[in-house]
Chains A and B, each alone.
Chain A
Amino acid sequence: MTDDIRGLTARLADEPGSLAFLELAEALRRRGQLEAAHKVARGGLARYPGLADAHDLMARILSDQGDLAGAFDAWASALQLDPMRTSALKGVGFLYFRAGESAAAMEHLQRALEVDPDDVSIRQAIARLGPARPDPPAGVADATPAPATPPPAVTPAADSPAEATPEEPAASGPFDAVDGGERGLLLVDASGLRLGGRLADAPGDPAGDRVAAQLAGVSREAARATRLLGLGAWHTIALESPDGHVVLTPASAETVLVAAREASLPMGRVTLLAERAARSARAWLEEQS
């Protein structure tokens, strides 16, 4: 057992409710200990059934175990929770490719590219797949031998948490004018795409894209709620979790600003921070247009 796995196992034993299972199961998968990885991931999924990361992880393990139907279901669950999850889109694309359904594979890869146009691996996979071809008639795909090796660029393992592209600060971003920089701030467009800012979850992994995806269309939803209840235009949504305070406010008609801070910071101060950051984001958006 490597020190890495030993440390993660100890951490999970100390804090069974933590998200350490994600790292541990991934480390085990990478070492080829698929049964152990499956067991750890299954335990984590039971605890966090609404966590797209956990379904994504389970899909990678099942794929490695050769249970492609199970992997497909797990990636589908991940996409239900997070429709813009590129790793799951790539995974499903990979499975369609294996089944000989190149049009469906291309469709999923194209969606992944729309979400993350900077991901070189998706572009490479699309290039390898070539122009979309009509799917073979029903039954032919099953009879077609699967390619011995899938295109490496779309191998689901390539998007493991350890290799995920960090949410690097932009050279010139929407929060340059905010004290403290862009940590804990996000600017999200109406489609749930992150325009700027960074957010990390408790273990310190990038969480901005996951959070942004959940907020697709939230501005319209909030506006509809306040309008139908006779409360006028919406200003803020404040969310109090035991683990943090989050404030959402419209930065423009099409974008939402998210400010997240630890729960010890009073909500009123997080709201002030959100308003300052929204002003900075507005100025940046005007510069971009």
Chain B
Amino acid sequence: MTTTQTVLDRVTRVPGVRGALVIAATDGLVVAEQLMDGVDGQAAAALTGSLVGRLVRTAEGAAMRPPAFIHLRGDGGSVLAALGPDDLVLVAVVGPDANLGLARLEMLDAASRLA
């Protein structure tokens, strides 16, 4: 099992996680994915890549270092993004009852292992 697959496996084991992807932030393309049916990986990658880019620039505008973790919360669940090295971002789409605290910790740890 590759490092990327191990990372995705760890994240998708967290209760409530519907799927996880590794994306390239700059172009919003999927590098690897592990998704439940009904989750559109390409849309998740493109939309999250764009949002991450904007929020990185926002942090720069406030003279902050780039964010390590981003959480977009909606009525019916959330998109979580942990920024890794080399422009890679670990993304998870989670349901409304997901254990967000555990997902965050797993993702921060797992993102640091991406290469």
Contacts and interface: CB of A to CB of B under 8 A. Distances in A.
Contacts of A225: 47-48, 51, 72, 79
Interface of B: 38-40, 43-44, 47-48, 50-51, 54-79, 93
Contacts of A177: none
Given A229-B39, A229-B40, A230-B38, A207 B63 contact: yes
A238 B60 CA distance: 16
Given A50-B57, A234-B72, A221 B64 contact: no
User: 3 closest A-B pairs (Cβ-Cβ)?
Assistant: A232-B75, A231-B74, A201-B63
Contacts of B59: 239, 241, 243, 246
A210 B62 contact: yes
Given A224-B47, A239-B70, A240-B69, A232 B58 contact: no
A237 B75 contact: no
A234 B72 CA distance: 7
A228 interface: yes
Contacts of A236: 71-73
Given A201-B63, A246-B64, 19 more contacts: A19-B63, A50-B56, A52-B61, A202-B63, A207-B61, A210-B61, A222-B51, A224-B47, A225-B47, A226-B72, A229-B39, A230-B77, A231-B78, A236-B72, A237-B55, A239-B55, A239-B69, A240-B68, A244-B62
A211 interface: yes
Interface in A65-88: 81-82
Question: Chain A interface mostly helix, strand, loop or mixed?
Answer: mixed
Centre residue among B48, B63, B77 by max chain A CB count within 10 A: B63
Interface in A231-289: 231-244, 246, 260
A164 to B, nearest CB: 14
A240 B40 contact: no
Contacts of B73: 234-238
Centre residue among B57, B65, B77 by max chain A CB count within 10 A: B57
A203 interface: yes
Contacts of B51: 218, 221-222, 225, 237
Contacts of A224: 47
A57 interface: no
Contact of A240 (B57, B67, B72): B67
